[in-house]
Structure 1
Amino acid sequence: MPELSESIAAIKQGAKEDRFTYLTILQYHVKSPEILPALNDVLEQDAQLAEEIGWDLVQMLLGIPGSETCLETVARLGNPREVIIKVMEALDGLTEAAGDEEAATTPDVSARFIVLLGMVAILHRRIKTKYPSRFLGPSLVKVFEAYQPTPEMTAAVINLVRSLSGRKRPALPTRKSSINVTNLDQDGDNSKNAPDPEAEQEEPTEDKMQEKLLQAFVTCILQRYVNQNEMQWSARLLEYYHPEKLVPGKKTIAQAFNEDGPLHQRDAVIGQLVALADDLGLTKLSDSFIAYMYENVTIVDPLAAFEDFSSPEDIHLSPGGAVCLIAYWVFSSEVFDADNPQPGMYIFPDHVTLLERFLGTEAQVEIGSSPGIADALLAIGLGLQHKGLIKRGTDTNFMAYHHHLTLISVFHPDIQIRNAATSFAGTILHSDPDDQNRLDILEDLLENCMFASLKACAVVWLKEELIAARKGNATNQFSSPDVIDRLQYFVFPATSAVKDMGEEELLDYWAQNSLFLLQVANFAFFLFSEGCRGLVPAGMRSAVEQRFAEPLVGAAERLLKRAKGQGGLGGLGEKDTMGVSILAERLKGLPLQ
Structure 2
Amino acid sequence: MADLSTAITAIKDARPPTTDKFTYLTILDSHLSPQTLPTLNEILQDAELTQEIGWDLVEMLIGLPGCEACLETIARLGNPREVILKVLEALENIQDDDGYQTDDEYEKPLPRGGKTQQFITLLGMLAILHRRIETKYPSRFLGNTLQSVYRAYNPNQEATAAVINLVHSLSGKKARPPLPTRKSSVTVANPDQNGDASKNAPDPEADNESREDPTETELQEKLLLSFVTCILETYINGNEVAWAQRLVEYYSPEKLVPGRPTALQVFREDQELLQRDAVVGQLVALTRDLGLTECSSMFIKNLTQSPIDNDPLGETDELSSPEDIALSTGGSIALLAYWVFSSTVFEADHPLPDMHIFPEHFALLDQLLQDDAHGKIMSAPGTIAALVALGLWLQENGRFSSGPVTDNVGGGENPSGSFMTYHHLLTLVAVYHPSLFVRNAAISLAGAVLHADPDSQDRLRILEDLLENCMFTNLKACAVTWLREEMIAAASASNASTDNVFSSSDALDSIQYAVFPSLAFLKEEDQTTLAEYFTQNAGFLHAAVNFAIFLWGGDGRYKGLVPEGMNSAVRERWAEPLVSAVKSYLKAGTDEEHEERGDLNEAQVLQERLSILSKSGGFSGLQ
Q: Which structure 2 residues correspond to residues 460-539 of structure 1 after superposition, within 5 A?
A: 460-473=481-494, 474-475=496-497, 476-529=500-553, 530-539=556-565
Kept after mapping to 1: 8 A contact 2:361/2:391: yes
Percent same amino acid among aligned pairs? 54
| Counterpart-to-counterpart distance in 1, 2:318 and 2:534 | 56
Deviation at 1:586, TM superposition (A): 4.6
The alpha carbon displacement at 1:162 in A equals: 0.8
1:93-146, Cα deviation, whole Å (9 max, x unpaired): 11x446987999742011000000101111111111222211111111111111
Name the SS for the 1:224 alignment partner: helix
Contact 1:274 1:325 in 2 (8 A): yes
1:368 equivalenced with 2:394 (yes/no):
no
Partner of 1:27: 29
**1:355-504 to 2 correspondence within 5 Å?**
355-396=365-406, 397-473=418-494, 474-475=496-497, 476-504=500-528
CA contact (8 A) 1:286 1:341 kept: no
How far apart in 2 are the matches of 1:457 and 1:101? 33
Per-residue CA deviation, residues 182-216 of structure 1 (Å, 9 max, x unaligned), is 21211211111111111133222221221111111
After superposition, the C-alpha distances for 1:521-573 in whole angstroms (9 at most, x for unaligned) are: 00000111222222222221111111111221222123212332756536334
Alignment of 1:194-209 (within 5 A): 194-200=201-207, 201=210, 202-209=212-219
Are 2:617 and 1:591 aligned? yes
1:270 corresponding residue in structure 2: 280
Q: 1:564 to 1:285 in 2, by over 3 A?
A: closer
Judge conservation of contact 2:535–2:599 (CA < 8 Å) in 1: no
Alignment partners' CA distance in 1, 2:446 and 2:295: 31
* Cross-structure match for 1:66: 66
RMSD: 2.2
Q: State the Cα distance separating 1:226 from its structure 2 match.
A: 0.5
- For 2:7 and 2:589, locate their aligned partners in 1 and report how far apart those are by CA, in whole Å: 76
Code of the aligned partner of 1:23: L
Output the CA distance in 2 between the equivalents of 1:317 and 1:115: 27
Which moves more between the two structures, 99-108 or 286-295?
99-108
* Aligned counterparts of 2:469 and 2:360: Cα–Cα separation in 1: 27
State yes or no: 1:79 paired with 2:105: no
Q: Is the 8 A contact 2:77 2:201 kept in 1?
A: yes
What is the aligned partner in structure 1 of residue 409 from structure 2? none
Provide the rounded CA distance (Å) in 2 between the counterparts of 1:285 and 1:511: 48
Q: 1:11-50 alignment to 2 at 5 Å?
A: 11-16=11-16, 17=18, 18-31=20-33, 33-44=34-45, 46-50=46-50
Letter in 1 for 2:192: D
- Offset, 1:34: 2.1
Structure 1: gaps of 5 or more residues: none
Runs of 5+ unmatched residues, structure 2: 102-108, 407-417
Structure-2 change in CA distance of 1:53 and 1:101 (3 Å): farther
Name the CA shift for 1:225/1:100 in 2 (closer, same or farther; >3 Å).
closer
Q: Deviations over 1:140-191 (max 9, x none)?
A: 1111111110000000010011111111134336865421112121121111
Query: What is the deviation of 1:587?
Result: 5.1
Query: Which of the residues 193, 213, 224 maps onto 2:200?
Result: 193
Aligned residues of 1:235 and 1:417 also touching (Cα < 8 A): yes
Provide the secondary structure at the position in 2 that maps to 1:15.
Answer: coil
The answer to whether the Cα contact below 8 Å between 1:76 and 1:123 also exists between their aligned partners in 2 is yes
Q: Which residue of 1 aligns with 2:54?
A: 54
The answer as to whether partners of 2:464 and 2:511 remain within 8 angstroms in 1 is yes
C-alpha distance in 1 between matches for 2:137 and 2:612:
75
Secondary structure class of the residue paired with 1:499: helix
Tell me which of 249, 257, 271 is aligned to 2:267. 257
CA distance in 2, matches of 1:2, 1:294: 68
Quote the offset at 1:293 in angstroms: 0.5
The aligned residue for residue 569 of structure 1 is 595
Distance 1:101 1:88, change over 3 A: farther
Return the structure number with greater helix share: 1
| Structure 1 residue 52 displacement after superposition | 0.4
Q: Give distance in 2, aligned partners of 1:223 and 1:585.
A: 51
Length, aligned pairs only: 590
Once the two structures are TM-superposed, the CA of residue 7 in structure 1 deviates from its matched residue by 2.2
Check the 8 A contact 1:87/1:120 in 2, yes or no: yes
Q: Separation in 1 of the partners of 2:478 and 2:215?
A: 56
CA distance in structure 2 between the aligned counterparts of 1:362 and 1:582, rounded to whole angstroms: 41
